[in-house]
């Protein structure tokens, strides 16, 4: 009998015609799979601090907690649990919000001003960098160690994961071979944990983490890896990232009825994690980074800059590749926020005026205002454009699609000078997409060079985005848990989440523990 939890176990129904039996089946599967976690952890665990699991349910907002999320709603409605909305920062994006939650500082202090920014020293853009050294400031687990040196932490797919002081780490990390081949993998700390985890629960389903296939399997695998860390290492703090809602809410928008299934699916995963952790005496906290709202208008700032003569590009193999260091001004787009870097100070006022006149731009934060927006950092743009509610910013800069760089039609989060949610789609113009994918994968298996050019160049396909502060608090991120200093119904700033996380990691101790210590 296989002991390893298999792909799909967390959500596979007994039969297509029996959706009502899903929950019972999931619980049964987890019990059957508990053989993975039989041995107690040989590692010391601090008895001076309670144990907490913080589940980051990406995209979850008060608007979505209800009939599609019965397990989350049941957890929220407990007498001892409070639900608090969180006013997001600008930009309300993954890396920035996570860094704020874990340091209590705004981006102007911790330095994570976006997922994507321009490095003025290297004259290059930086996207989705993983080093924790980029996050300036004391992290939550470091603060907790000051009063409890034995306090341990596991970071399970939270961003800026690598080279942190967390005891245990796991994060997506492809292998880039010399022949151009890309091999999907994860990186862990300690390093040898990667092979152990993969032996027990299988390889990380990387194509389901980002790209046209992005979906449930990645969050299922992450949940299983979180269980593995809990059973094997029993950390005092588990930080678990569950990205499933990020995909179809951007593809279809939150108003599309097709997303109802996504809420149901992530609810089952969260419900099982809550049950799993609580059976082991671990306190559970739910939070989210942002809410995704409906959009229908992409704004191409770099194409506008090109028309003004501010953009520079090179012709490479008959394609246009932007040359950031020679641009007079360049926009690094990240959802509904774009950092504008100006290499020619003489055009600063004209750039600002142009942005303010652009349809879809709600406001422009200039250097004088950045202190107020807590974005005054060397990595920030000279100007910061924020879209209106229905718009978002692309990185597109070419005039003709035939001149677009080769990476534009691929999933390439690092090479594109900005975030590209169109990577969630396969080009609808491809008549037989599965056949095309199969042929390209066969070439890859045979060791032949190939370009996985399946991504469309039609930004209007995207129907959901985030990054600005929504008008309606029902679209704000949430913080749900048993917090000693929150009664529920409040709204707090993103920077105020940190002290409440600190409190819950220190204060939720049993009476027996308190009496024993006394």
Flag whether pLDDT at 33 surpasses 60: no
* C-alpha distances out from residue 333 to 165, 351, 435, Å: 30, 15, 33
Q: How far apart are CA 485 and CA 487, in angstroms?
A: 7
pLDDT in tens, 70-111: 999 999 999 999 999 999 999 999 999 999 999 999 999 999
CATH of the domain at 375: 3.30.1360.110
Where does a domain end: 432, 462, 492?
462
The reported pLDDT for the residue numbered 451 is 87
Look at residue 267 and give its three-state secondary structure.
Answer: helix
The number of folded domains in the chain is 2
Dihedrals phi, psi of 37, to nearest 5 degrees: -105, 30
Flag whether pLDDT at 513 surpasses 70: no
Q: Both 319 and 331 in a single domain? A: yes
Dihedrals phi, psi of 98, to nearest 5 degrees: -65, -45
pLDDT in tens, 232-248: 999 999 999 999 999 99
Average pLDDT over residues 503-508: 82
Q: How far apart are CA 104 and CA 100, in angstroms?
A: 5
The reported pLDDT for the residue numbered 176 is 84
Domain span holding position 502: 51-293+470-517
Flag whether pLDDT at 7 surpasses 60: no
The reported pLDDT for the residue numbered 171 is 97
The reported pLDDT for the residue numbered 445 is 82
CATH of the domain at 216: 3.40.720.10
Decide which of 18 and 193 is more confident: 193
CA angle 193/199/203 to nearest 5° reads 90
Q: Is residue 1 part of a domain?
A: no
216-233 vs 193-201: helix crossing angle, rounded to 10: 120
Q: Is residue 4 part of a domain?
A: no
Place 175 in a pLDDT band, splitting at 50, 70 and 90: confident
Tokens 């001003």: give the residue: 113
Composition of the chain by helix, strand, coil, percent to 5: 35, 20, 45
Flag whether pLDDT at 459 surpasses 80: yes
The reported pLDDT for the residue numbered 487 is 87
Q: How many CB atoms lie within 10 A of CB 439?
A: 12
Q: Note whether 27 and 272 are within 8 A (CB).
A: yes
Where does a domain end: 446, 462, 478?
462
Q: Is residue 22 part of a domain?
A: no
Summary mean pLDDT of the chain: 89
Average pLDDT over residues 321-348: 97
Average pLDDT over residues 271-276: 98
Q: By mean pLDDT, which of 7-21, 131-145, 218-232, 363-377 is the weakest?
A: 7-21
Query: CA neighbours within 13 Å on the CB side: how many for 384?
Result: 28
Q: How many CB atoms lie within 10 A of CB 229?
A: 24
Prior bond of 350 cis (ω within 30°): no
The reported pLDDT for the residue numbered 10 is 44
Q: Both 345 and 454 in a single domain? A: yes
- Relative to beta strand 168-172, strand 186-189 is antiparallel
The reported pLDDT for the residue numbered 45 is 62
């Amino acid at each position: 009998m296989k002991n390893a939890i298999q792909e799909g176990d967390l959500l596979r129904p007994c039969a297509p015609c029996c959706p009502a039996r899903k929950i019972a089946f999931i619980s049964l599967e987890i019990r059957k799979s508990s053989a993975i976690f039989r041995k107690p952890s040989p590692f010391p665990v601090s008895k001076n601090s309670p144990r907490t699991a913080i589940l980051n349910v990406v995209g979850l907002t008060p608007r979505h907690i209800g009939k599609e999320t019965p397990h989350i709603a049941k957890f929220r409605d407990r007498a001892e649990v409070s639900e608090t909305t969180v006013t997001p920062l600008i930009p309300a994006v993954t890396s920035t919000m996570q860094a704020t939650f874990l340091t209590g500082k705004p981006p102007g202090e911790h330095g994570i001003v976006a997922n994507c920014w321009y490095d003025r020293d290297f004259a290059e853009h930086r996207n989705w960098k993983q080093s924790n050294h980029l996050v300036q400031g004391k992290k939550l687990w470091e603060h907790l160690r000051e009063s409890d040196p034995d306090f341990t932490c596991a970071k399970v797919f939270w961003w800026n994961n690598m080279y942190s002081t967390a005891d245990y780490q796991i994060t997506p990390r492809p292998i880039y071979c010399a022949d151009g081949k890309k091999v999907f993998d994860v990186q862990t700390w300690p390093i040898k944990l990667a092979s152990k985890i993969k032996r027990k629960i299988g390889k990380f389903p990387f194509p389901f983490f980002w790209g046209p296939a992005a979906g449930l399997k990645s969050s299922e695998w992450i949940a299983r890896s979180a269980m593995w860390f809990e059973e094997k290492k029993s950390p005092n703090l588990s930080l678990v990232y569950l990205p499933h809602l990020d995909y179809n809410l951007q593809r279809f928008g939150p108003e599309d009825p097709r997303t109802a299934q996504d809420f149901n699916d992530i609810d089952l995963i969260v419900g099982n994690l809550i049950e799993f952790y609580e059976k082991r005496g671990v306190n559970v906290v739910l939070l989210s980074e942002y809410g995704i709202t409906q959009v229908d208008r992409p704004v191409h700032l770099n194409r506008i800059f090109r028309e003004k003569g501010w953009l520079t590009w090179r012709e490479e193999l008959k394609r246009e590749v932007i040359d950031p260091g020679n641009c007079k001004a360049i926009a690094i787009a990240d959802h509904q926020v774009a950092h504008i870097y100006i290499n020619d100070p003489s055009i600063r006022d004209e750039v600002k005026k142009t942005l303010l006149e652009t349809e879809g731009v709600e406001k422009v934060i200039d250097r004088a205002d950045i202190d107020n927006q807590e974005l005054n950092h060397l990595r920030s743009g000279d100007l910061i454009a924020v879209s209106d509610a229905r718009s978002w910013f692309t990185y597109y800069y070419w005039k003709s699609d035939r001149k677009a760089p080769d990476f534009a039609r691929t999933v390439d989060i690092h090479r594109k000078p900005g975030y590209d949610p169109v990577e969630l789609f396969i080009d609808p113009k491809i008549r037989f997409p599965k056949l095309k994918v199969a042929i390209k994968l066969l070439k890859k298996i045979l060791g032949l060079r190939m370009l996985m050019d399946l991504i469309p160049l039609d930004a209007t396909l995207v129907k959901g985005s985030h990054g600005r502060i929504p008008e309606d608090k029902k679209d704000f991120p949430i913080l749900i848990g048993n917090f000693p200093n929150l009664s529920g119904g409040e709204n707090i700033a993103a920077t105020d989440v940190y002290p409440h996380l600190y409190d819950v990691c220190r204060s939720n101790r049993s009476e027996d523990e308190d009496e024993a210590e006394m």
